[in-house]
Amino acid sequence: MQLPRVGIFGASGYAGIELTRLLATHPTAKLAFVASERHVGTSVAELTGVEGPTGALRYVSYGAAREAARTCAAVLLATPADVSLVLAAELVSAGLRVIDLSGAFRIADAAAFTAAYGHAAPPAALQGAAVYGLTELHREAIRGAQLVANPGCYPTAATLPLVPLLRAGLVTTDSIVVDAVSGASGAGRRATEDYSLVAMHDNVRAYKLLTHQHGPEIAQSLALATAGLPVDLTFVPKLLPIPRGILATITTRLRAKSDAVELTRVLRAAYEGEPFVRVLDRPEDVDLHRVIGTNLCAIAVACEPRAGGRVVLVSAIDNLVKGAAGQALQNLNLLLDLEETSGLTALRRFHP
Amino acid sequence: MQLPRVGIFGASGYAGIELTRLLATHPTAKLAFVASERHVGTSVAELTGVEGPTGALRYVSYGAAREAARTCAAVLLATPADVSLVLAAELVSAGLRVIDLSGAFRIADAAAFTAAYGHAAPPAALQGAAVYGLTELHREAIRGAQLVANPGCYPTAATLPLVPLLRAGLVTTDSIVVDAVSGASGAGRRATEDYSLVAMHDNVRAYKLLTHQHGPEIAQSLALATAGLPVDLTFVPKLLPIPRGILATITTRLRAKSDAVELTRVLRAAYEGEPFVRVLDRPEDVDLHRVIGTNLCAIAVACEPRAGGRVVLVSAIDNLVKGAAGQALQNLNLLLDLEETSGLTALRRFHP
Amino acid sequence: MQLPRVGIFGASGYAGIELTRLLATHPTAKLAFVASERHVGTSVAELTGVEGPTGALRYVSYGAAREAARTCAAVLLATPADVSLVLAAELVSAGLRVIDLSGAFRIADAAAFTAAYGHAAPPAALQGAAVYGLTELHREAIRGAQLVANPGCYPTAATLPLVPLLRAGLVTTDSIVVDAVSGASGAGRRATEDYSLVAMHDNVRAYKLLTHQHGPEIAQSLALATAGLPVDLTFVPKLLPIPRGILATITTRLRAKSDAVELTRVLRAAYEGEPFVRVLDRPEDVDLHRVIGTNLCAIAVACEPRAGGRVVLVSAIDNLVKGAAGQALQNLNLLLDLEETSGLTALRRFHP
Amino acid sequence: MQLPRVGIFGASGYAGIELTRLLATHPTAKLAFVASERHVGTSVAELTGVEGPTGALRYVSYGAAREAARTCAAVLLATPADVSLVLAAELVSAGLRVIDLSGAFRIADAAAFTAAYGHAAPPAALQGAAVYGLTELHREAIRGAQLVANPGCYPTAATLPLVPLLRAGLVTTDSIVVDAVSGASGAGRRATEDYSLVAMHDNVRAYKLLTHQHGPEIAQSLALATAGLPVDLTFVPKLLPIPRGILATITTRLRAKSDAVELTRVLRAAYEGEPFVRVLDRPEDVDLHRVIGTNLCAIAVACEPRAGGRVVLVSAIDNLVKGAAGQALQNLNLLLDLEETSGLTALRRFHP
């Protein structure tokens, strides 16, 4: 039997490399091409350490990749948003199914998009076709999608814990704060002094305060999953001197008397049977070591047991896996009608 | 001229060692004794790397230190809260002036204290004599104090940026979130697997959510500096895989139309002439490298320029200096009627 | 078809956990029990993050494990040397095949063993039965072994690059220096202040100079693979503030005129077809990122192209994989007559 | 009394910034100018965090600095070797005294220099005037020098421990290996992907094997201090994922029977009274924490107590202080006939 073929554009960034490594051991899909204008001719083995047939592939130009894409069941874009905009338009109109890991198609409102990204939004028709790919929340829509907007790392970490409590009407929506610390790979490959080891080591800073493009994405993601519940939130991202991982803490309040046990039960019910969400009892157990190297999102909640009581949700993901390449693979599996966990079950926690 | 003599109890924890190093080069005070039950007989040089006369001192027992304290102008306690409680009672009743770096005297309300610390609060008379030692805000009271409760690291980082805006009535008080990440030295010396390099490296976790003893201290510290303005806040502490530094982000909202320029101006006016507070224009510039090794608190603000607009304050301190030993020295200088910056001017930023 | 069953004693140290994770996805062997006196009753999922059937296993006592071992095709010991000594004696005499990850059976000479380990050497008969398990060099002996002494991490990193050049008579043997830096997991789980993040972070130190038990093991390992060539070496181990990985640099001299190209060719010929050894052209490419998370040993050589010219070999391994659990699995596969790479092919380079 | 004035060219690299910070608190010399073509007009405070009068200085062009230099008692060059070559020639011929922190004047032999640095050596007359500035070993020559070649970081760490044992004829000279691990600031400011946090974190690699320019400098430095004893050494440098510090281990052998106690005694006698060398009893105590932030070189020795016994020397320095700016200040003090420790006594160990 012929395995479905897929290709990657932009295969040399951190997310592209992670995707390549995941697809290299995917048992029911075949990586047919990897495109990188910067590395044309280089072998995949050299950049990624992947061995075997996938390692023997060589990066091709975007031009060559456009040809190769025709034989593919789906194409993944790990390109910057402005490049994704152009490529997706072209590939979709050629009838191909596309999963885009950039932010190009994540924000439906054109004005909000332009404010966040600083350039023109996608054509309305194309944007209208895009399905927001937070797998656990939009699984059925993703299965049939022509174009999947794979979620941002922070929005994934913020949406999964909040949505079940919002849907159940348990927490207030008017002054949510999402504070999240991220490893440096979240900022992408960088060749500047600011991102050098000497400048970043032992250092922490908040960045893009009140202007980060994931702020409106989180708001939209919550609205999308709660039938438009108007959520007012403040997003505070911080950069850590570690390579991988996001830990988000989300503060809100109870609308009526409840407690951590009930909130945990609601979260657990919402994600029962989910292969990649783990609801834990103790917030201290939601640490980065638990998720780094895996496609898991770990969640727990602390709560003052009274009406109006403070609520703190904690969630953790590996920004390059559940926050990027891993979730893209989940979505690819849905598109291709494969087992959703295919290619993701062998991922192992890395830290001792 | 005879320099005033001071002594330290609990001189072998991180704060005690930092204090010892600072006092070793203090030009107008003399470290007369260092007490550590665990290290009696060991030289200060061995534990701290300090050379010269201070390095030649040897740790003495608390018993011996009680004797030595009689000749001192002031005594610093870098002991756990329960030990400080006993020592301070005894030393104060012997007429000595005491600066306590633990939390023993920071929370005036006895019930709140017991809830936070899990043991009985100080006797009311003693607690009543304690002055909360956030130097910039309570300078005059500190000068005359018999007992100074040196502030916690998180409360220092949270109070300094917020107070001027609260005093000016510029921001709302009903749903403030203080999120703060801290280096591991903030948790004190630890000999457990949880605090081993392998367990902590590349890891982050939130801890003591809604129960951390610095939560009520921050609330009280804000109330104290704002004539009892009722502030409702959520405190979210996180532990980082680095040794030193605290970065706090504080979210609130504008009460009326304003902007970052005005808020910055108010902050700058409040701290004009302060030797250890720096108000910066850009929140991204408030990073740990700017403060580690120094007694500085760096502050900046981001703001949506409309009534009700989101406000994010950022502050950074070295938790062992401005968050502990450095501020204790500021307070000691006030007690002893020395130049407030004495012994603190040679501190240098450590990172390149 | 029934998969061969295996068990692990000492399953809660770093090597034991790594072994457990590897066996959890081993396609042709089944982990039947995990024994840990400290964690009896705890689920494997809780300690290791492994999910599925292996995660559902619970740690059993050594007593219970002795029973369970009877149904196993082989048993792995990830116990301290003194415990391994006792367990291996018992299990081998019960007819079981054993792979021991400690140093208990690595040093054949009883006096050298006692000098290195500080306690009595194994009984001569048992020691005589032990095969030194450096897979690439002793594959055939391992296949038939009753007891495999799985090599130490440093000896693995030192032996693989040196042996082909020693066998070919290309380098001198009289003053070899093996300098190796290791991540902290190499020292095992530690709950002391010395191994805390604050004490180790940004720190490096040499340790056990001229007394480290891997010094004689390296010498014996080289002798074993070179038919007793008398090698005189100095071993210098250093501890790094990172969790994983060993980088070894080995200095010696050319016996006759040669160059890096020839030495590289000899190394490549020696390891042609080896699934887990990679000979690279450039020493700078042999870094930890290339091997962490994998069972690979990467090797390269620098050389002054003249008789007597200086030679520096560089090698890198993941100390917990090729330096411990991964190599143990290679050996287990040989014992059980499985594909040597079984359970090791899905390992992926971790770093972006 | 007028303090002697000094200036710095190349004040924006790591060594230049460290120098600036040190001179800012120098009690008996005054920093008159800082020159940086890249940062003309920027304040010293902005780049270095230094406050007060030195912080208020602004970087000037090299042209303006040439003028300002005329009023200075000495000038420090923290410029690349090729720039130092030109500047030193000009400044020396204008009668100024110069301390150069680059490698431009460290290697006396022109052919060896060109092999190491890849460009033409200094004019013989100028090179002839240069004094190698390893303070402890060439103090008197430095006092009278017109041009001081401030030593490299690795050569400082390698020379100080070896010289006393070589002078005493205690160790062999024919196969010394100097292995040294260094923090990333040793490679200077870098804005490339290779030096990014994500690329370097948790990574280690050897680099410039057998070609590093500090190899011949170490050989010459040893020869210089031992009246030309012909020393044959191999230098193996490795780059660590930390910002600061060098730990060197040096292997050689005893010429006659001796032991660690005797070697330690010889080292201690050699450096008795030295303000910045500390000979310790135990090699494990020579770690980076002991020296980072200070101008100290810590040294200890391990030894097999028999003729021909292996010897391992360990030394540690802060590469930016004793390995660069701190030693430059020691030398400056000698040039200006100031107390040698002036400006260096307040340096404190940084780590808890």
Contact state of B351 with A203 under an 8 Å Cβ cutoff = yes
A contact test, residue of C320, C341, C348 with most A CBs within 10 A = C348
C-alpha pair distances (Å), D84 with each of B296, C243, D122: 36, 41, 10
CA distance A127 to chain C (A): 31
Of A190, A193, A243, the CB nearest to D201: A243
Strand-strand pairing, D233-239 and D176-182:
parallel
Interface size A-D, in CB pairs within 8 Å, comes to: 60
In this predicted structure, what is the pLDDT of residue A33?
97
DSSP 8-state code for residue A27: T
pLDDT digits (tens, 9 = 90+) for C252-283: 999 999 999 999 999 999 999 999 999 999 99
Q: Which two tokens stand for residue C40?
A: 């009896």
Q: Are B232 and B173 in contact (CB under 8 A)?
A: yes
Please state, in angstroms and rounded to a whole number, the distance separating the CA atoms of residues C116 and C210: 10
ipTM of predicted complex: 0.96
Q: Sheet containing B30-35: give its strands across.
A: B30-35, B5-9, B74-77, B98-100, B147-149, B130-132
Active-site residue set of C: 153
In this predicted structure, what is the pLDDT of residue A1?
67
Contact state of C198 with B185 under an 8 Å Cβ cutoff = yes
Of D185, D243, D346, the CB nearest to B346: D346
Please state, in angstroms and rounded to a whole number, the distance separating the CA atoms of residues A169 and A189: 40
In this predicted structure, what is the pLDDT of residue D346?
85
pLDDT digits (tens, 9 = 90+) for B208-262: 999 999 999 999 999 999 999 999 999 999 999 999 999 999 999 999 999 999 9
pLDDT digits (tens, 9 = 90+) for B106-130: 999 999 999 999 999 999 999 999 9
Reduced to 3 states, what is the DSSP secondary structure of residue A231?
Answer: coil
Contact state of D351 with B50 under an 8 Å Cβ cutoff = no
pLDDT digits (tens, 9 = 90+) for C284-327: 999 999 999 999 999 999 999 999 999 999 999 999 999 999 99
Which residues on B lie below 8 Å from C195 (Cβ)? 196-198
* B205: enclosing H helix or E strand: strand B205-206
The sign of the dihedral angle between the CA atoms of B156, B162, B168, B174 is negative
CA distance B206 to chain C (A): 17
Reduced to 3 states, what is the DSSP secondary structure of residue B105?
Answer: coil
Name, in order, each residue with C-beta under 8 angstroms of D265's C-beta and a sequence gap of 6 or more.
Answer: none
Q: Sheet containing C205-206: give its strands across.
A: C205-206, C233-239, C176-182, C246-253, C310-317, C297-303, C277-279
Domain boundary assignment for chain A: 5-150+322-335, 154-319
CA distance D198 to chain A (A): 5
CA distance B287 to chain A (A): 5
Nearest CA in chain A to B289: A203
Which residues on A lie below 8 Å from B287 (Cβ)? 203-205
What is the average pLDDT across C162-191? Answer: 95
First to last CA, chain A: 39
Which residues on B lie below 8 Å from C189 (Cβ)? 193, 196, 198
Please state, in angstroms and rounded to a whole number, the distance separating the CA atoms of residues D335 and D98: 9
Nearest CA in chain D to C198: D352
Q: Are B336 and B74 in contact (CB under 8 A)?
A: yes
Q: Are C81 and C15 in contact (CB under 8 A)?
A: no
Find how far residue C323's CA is from the centre of its chain: 3
Q: Are C235 and C212 in contact (CB under 8 A)?
A: yes
Q: Give the number of other Cβ atoms within 10 Å of residue B194's Cβ.
A: 15
Inter-residue long-range contacts of D35-41, CB under 8 Å, 24+ positions, other chains counted: D35/D7, D35/D8, D35/D9, D35/D10, D35/D11, D35/D59, D35/D60, D35/D61, D35/D62, D35/D64, D35/D65, D36/D10, D36/D11, D36/D12, D37/D61, D37/D62, D38/D12, D39/D11, D39/D12
pLDDT digits (tens, 9 = 90+) for A329-345: 999 999 999 999 999 99
- Which chains sit next to D, with 3 or more Cβ pairs under 8 A? A, B, C
Confidence of residue C1 (pLDDT cuts 50, 70, 90): low
Give yes or no for residue A317 having a pLDDT over 80.
yes
Which residues on D lie below 8 Å from A352 (Cβ)? none
- Which chains sit next to B, with 3 or more Cβ pairs under 8 A? A, C, D
CA distance B56 to chain A (A): 32
Q: Which of A239, A246, A235 is nearest to A211 (CA)?
A: A235
| Chain B positions with Cβ closer than 8 Å to D | 14, 17-18, 21, 24-25, 48-50, 185, 202, 243-244, 290, 293-294, 320, 346, 348-352
Contact state of C193 with B198 under an 8 Å Cβ cutoff = no
Contact state of D245 with C205 under an 8 Å Cβ cutoff = no
C-alpha pair distances (Å), B266 with each of B164, B233, B299: 7, 22, 12
- Which chains sit next to C, with 3 or more Cβ pairs under 8 A? A, B, D
Which residues on C lie below 8 Å from D253 (Cβ)? 175
Give yes or no for residue C91 having a pLDDT over 80.
yes
Which residues on D lie below 8 Å from C351 (Cβ)? 198, 202-203
Nearest CA in chain A to D196: A196
The sign of the dihedral angle between the CA atoms of C141, C145, C147, C148 is positive
Q: Which two tokens stand for residue C328?
A: 């143990």
Please state, in angstroms and rounded to a whole number, the distance separating the CA atoms of residues A344 and A326: 7
What is the average pLDDT score of chain A?
A: 96
Nearest CA in chain C to B192: C191
In this predicted structure, what is the pLDDT of residue C205?
98
| Chain D positions with Cβ closer than 8 Å to A | 14, 184-185, 189-193, 195-202, 241-243
Reduced to 3 states, what is the DSSP secondary structure of residue B208?
Answer: coil
Nearest CA in chain A to D198: A243
What is the average pLDDT across A315-321? Answer: 98
Contact state of A210 with B312 under an 8 Å Cβ cutoff = yes
Q: What share of chain A is helix, strand, coil (3-state, %, to 5)?
A: 40, 20, 40
In this predicted structure, what is the pLDDT of residue A12?
84
Give yes or no for residue C20 having a pLDDT over 90.
yes
Nearest CA in chain A to B197: A352
Q: Which two tokens stand for residue B174?
A: 């009903």
Contact state of C50 with A185 under an 8 Å Cβ cutoff = no
Of D185, D198, D242, the CB nearest to A243: D198
Q: Which two tokens stand for residue D329?
A: 């200040």
Contact state of C202 with D177 under an 8 Å Cβ cutoff = no
In this predicted structure, what is the pLDDT of residue A43?
97
C-alpha pair distances (Å), D314 with each of D157, D264, D298: 9, 12, 8
Q: Give the number of other Cβ atoms within 10 Å of residue D269's Cβ.
A: 11
Of C236, C251, C283, the CB nearest to D312: C236
Q: Which two tokens stand for residue D237?
A: 């440098």
In this predicted structure, what is the pLDDT of residue B201?
97
Query: Which architecture, in CATH terms, is D154-319?
Result: 2-Layer Sandwich (3.30)
Please state, in angstroms and rounded to a whole number, the distance separating the CA atoms of residues D345 and D350: 14
The partner residues of B60 in beta bridges, in order of sequence, read B35
What is the average pLDDT across C180-193? Answer: 92
Please state, in angstroms and rounded to a whole number, the distance separating the CA atoms of residues C97 and B340: 73
Residue in the structure block whose two tokens are 């200075």:
D72
pLDDT digits (tens, 9 = 90+) for B318-347: 999 999 999 999 999 999 999 999 999 889
Please state, in angstroms and rounded to a whole number, the distance separating the CA atoms of residues B329 and C196: 28
In this predicted structure, what is the pLDDT of residue C346?
85
Reduced to 3 states, what is the DSSP secondary structure of residue B180?
Answer: strand
pLDDT digits (tens, 9 = 90+) for A75-85: 999 999 999 99
For every residue of A299-347, DSSP letters joined together read EEEEE-SSTT-EEEEEEEE-TTIIIIIHHHHHHHHHHTT--TTTTTTT-
In this predicted structure, what is the pLDDT of residue B1?
67
Contact state of C196 with B202 under an 8 Å Cβ cutoff = no
- Helix C214-225 crosses helix C135-143 at what angle (to 10 degrees)? 70
CATH topology of domain A5-150+322-335: Rossmann fold (3.40.50)
For residue D256, count CB atoms less than 10 angstroms from its CB and return exposed for 0-12, middle for 13-18, buried for 19 or more. Answer: exposed
What is the average pLDDT across B266-287? Answer: 98
In this predicted structure, what is the pLDDT of residue C280?
98
Percent of residues, chain B, with pLDDT higher than 90: 96
The radius of gyration of chain D from alpha carbons, rounded to an integer in Å, stands at 20
Contact state of A349 with C243 under an 8 Å Cβ cutoff = no
List the CATH code of the domain at D5-151+322-335: 3.40.50.720
Which residues on A lie below 8 Å from C348 (Cβ)? 21, 24-25, 49-50
In this predicted structure, what is the pLDDT of residue A11?
83
Q: Give the number of other Cβ atoms within 10 Å of residue D284's Cβ.
A: 16
Which residues on A lie below 8 Å from C14 (Cβ)? 352
In this predicted structure, what is the pLDDT of residue D206?
98
Give yes or no for residue C110 having a pLDDT over 80.
yes
Confidence of residue B12 (pLDDT cuts 50, 70, 90): confident
Please state, in angstroms and rounded to a whole number, the distance separating the CA atoms of residues D283 and D351: 19
Of D14, D25, D49, the CB nearest to B349: D49
DSSP 8-state code for residue C146: S
Please state, in angstroms and rounded to a whole number, the distance separating the CA atoms of residues A211 and B27: 47
What is the average pLDDT score of chain C?
A: 96
Name, in order, each residue with C-beta under 8 angstroms of A320's C-beta and a sequence gap of 6 or more.
Answer: A14, A15, A18, A185, A244, A326, C352
What is the average pLDDT across C208-219? Answer: 97
Contact state of B179 with A175 under an 8 Å Cβ cutoff = no
Of C189, C197, C199, the CB nearest to B201: C197
Name, in order, each residue with C-beta under 8 angstroms of B228's C-beta and a sequence gap of 6 or more.
Answer: none
In this predicted structure, what is the pLDDT of residue A217?
97
Nearest CA in chain C to B14: C198
Confidence of residue B191 (pLDDT cuts 50, 70, 90): confident
Cα-flanking dihedrals φ and ψ of residue C231, to 5°? Answer: -110, 130
**Identified catalytic residue from D72, D153, D297, D303:** D153
C-alpha pair distances (Å), C26 with each of B110, C33, C54, C55: 59, 14, 11, 14
pLDDT tens, residue order, chain D (352 aa): 689 999 999 988 999 999 999 999 999 999 999 999 999 999 999 999 999 999 999 999 999 999 999 999 999 999 999 999 999 999 999 999 999 999 999 999 999 999 999 999 999 999 999 999 999 999 999 999 999 999 999 999 999 999 999 999 999 999 899 999 999 999 888 889 999 999 999 999 999 999 999 999 999 999 999 999 999 999 999 999 999 999 999 999 999 999 999 999 999 999 999 999 999 999 999 999 999 999 999 999 999 999 999 999 999 999 999 999 999 999 999 999 999 999 998 898 999 8
Name, in order, each residue with C-beta under 8 angstroms of B148's C-beta and a sequence gap of 6 or more.
Answer: B98, B99, B100, B130, B131, B133, B142, B331, B335
Interface size A-B, in CB pairs within 8 Å, comes to: 134
What is the average pLDDT across A120-142? Answer: 97
Please state, in angstroms and rounded to a whole number, the distance separating the CA atoms of residues D74 and D96: 6
Q: Are C169 and C245 in contact (CB under 8 A)?
A: no
Which residues on B lie below 8 Å from C191 (Cβ)? 191-193, 196
| Chain C positions with Cβ closer than 8 Å to B | 14, 184-185, 189-193, 195-202, 241-243
Contact state of B244 with A314 under an 8 Å Cβ cutoff = no
For every residue of A239-304, DSSP letters joined together read E-SSSS-EEEEEEEEBSSS--HHHHHHHHHHHTTT-TTEEE-S-GGG--GGGTTTSS-EEEEEEE-
In this predicted structure, what is the pLDDT of residue A233?
95
Strand-strand pairing, A233-239 and A176-182:
parallel
